[in-house]
Amino acid sequence: MLARSITRASARPAIRHTTISTRATRATFKSFARDDGPEVPVISYEGGHRHEEILSMPVSTTSCPVTPAGQDEQKKAYQLDANAYKYLTPTLSRFTLPDKVAVITGGGRGLGLNMAQALAEVGVRGIAIMDVQQELGDKAARELSEQTGVDVRFYRVDVRDGQGIGQTVQDVFDHYGGLDVLVNAAGIADSNIKAEVYDHEKFRRLLDINITGTFLTAQACGKGGSIINIASMSGSIVNYPQEQSCYNASKAAVIQLTKSLAAEWAPYGIRVNSISPGYMDTALNRVPALDAQKRIWVDHTPQKRLGAVDDLNNLAVYLASAGSGYMTGNNCIIDGGYTLW
């Protein structure tokens, strides 16, 4: 193990590098980790070698409980052959994102990871995943990079941590030279909690992650391009039968934040839209306690199924691309028809 000091951008804290060997990887990805100490370990894979470095920056003192990872195998992502672009019609080419750079919060798994894969498949050259779960984020970045050849970085950042987000976005600009797409998918859900007994701290924590986190990331990333906030149909309807007042309120706030930012930032060339999924088959919902309720959810859904983890992918590509150039402030519900009844 070798440790040495390097100089980064002047406004940035000093960073120490530690390098160790690992198995060969075809592509490049980088993993940024926030830790419990005053420094942040970083893992990167370049040219088949594993490197570690330390970012020294303030660390969030808050913790973030998250649901366990799902059991299902993650689907593979594919690279679009570079020659294919010249055969695309003007309409199809407006759905591609060649040379764009995307940041995906909550990209370690679930809907965020699937949308990251979709963006990689339509040509983005760089993807920065921000997530609190180190192992998931590291694995997601490595596999996405290996499968598509895209330059992927993983930053272990809590979306409640404004300083961590700022440091991350600065590094994204330093490394990629730009940022075109932000997908805000990090979020948590509490359900089956009656409003009259809702613990105050739990209530505040959920709002802090789902709404403040969305705002902090949008504010840091909003320099141009497209912002896609993952809200929920729960921002427009009250779910049945489970009580989840805080989650519903948080997602209504995400929808209204989306519209407000879209109006304020249109003059800067920034588009802001939200996706409101119905019940999706992700780890968030793969908990035994929800099994009985899931049968009710499916019964109340005209299409008679939960959404698949990749059912948002093409909408995300559309919202990220020039194909949706005249759309801003829109909340797109994609729920198998649930909100029709």
Instruction: State the residues that interact with ligand NAD by CB under 6 A.
Output: 64, 66-67, 105-106, 108-112, 131-133, 136, 158-160, 185-189, 209, 213, 230, 232, 277, 279-280, 282-285
Beta partners for residue 199, in sequence order: none
| Residue with Cβ nearer ligand NAD (96 or 313) | 313
**Residues 182 and 228: beta-carbon distance below 8 Å:** yes
Cβ proximity to ligand NAD, 55 vs 230, nearer residue: 230
Tokens of 274: 């939200």
Given the residues 251, 276, 279, 338, select the one marked as catalytic.
Answer: 251
Burial (CB < 10 A; 0-12, 13-18, 19+), residue 207, is middle
Q: In what order do the strands lie in the sheet with 101-105?
A: 2-6, 15-20, 49-56, 39-46, 29-32, 151-156, 126-131, 101-105, 181-184, 225-230, 270-277, 331-334
Q: Least distance (Å) from ligand NAD to the CB of residue 131? A: 5
Gap between the Cα atoms of 220 and 296, Å rounded: 40
Q: How far is the CB of 125 from ligand NAD (least distance, A)?
A: 23
CB of residue 6 to ligand NAD, shortest distance in Å? 27
Tokens 């729920």, residue located: 335
Q: How far is CA 162 from CA 134, 159, 212, 216, 237, in A?
A: 18, 7, 10, 6, 30
Among residues 285 and 331, whose Cβ is nearest to ligand NAD?
285
Q: Considering the complex, state which of residue 218 and residue 230 has its C-beta at the smaller distance from ligand NAD.
A: 230
Residue whose pair of structure tokens reads 């789902």 in the numeric block: 210
247 as an active site residue: the answer is: yes
Annotation says 245 is catalytic: no
CB nearer to ligand NAD: give 39 or 131.
Answer: 131
Catalytically annotated residue among 247, 279, 318, 338? 247
Give the shortest CB-89-to-ligand NAD separation in angstroms.
Answer: 32
In Å, how far are 16, 19, 22, 163 from 47, measured between CA atoms? 20, 13, 10, 31
SS (H, E, C) 106-137: CCCCHHHHHHHHHHHHCCCCEEEEEECCHHHH
Catalytic annotation present for 240: no
**Nearer Cβ to ligand NAD (25/212):** 212
CB of 132 to ligand NAD, least distance (A): 4
Catalytic residue chosen out of the listed positions 31, 145, 232, 276 = 232
**Count of CB atoms situated within 10 Å of the CB of 291:** 10
CB of 341 to ligand NAD, least distance (A): 17
Please, is 171 exposed, middle or buried when counting C-beta atoms within 10 Å of its C-beta (0-12, 13-18, 19+)?
buried
Catalytic annotation, residues: 232, 247, 251
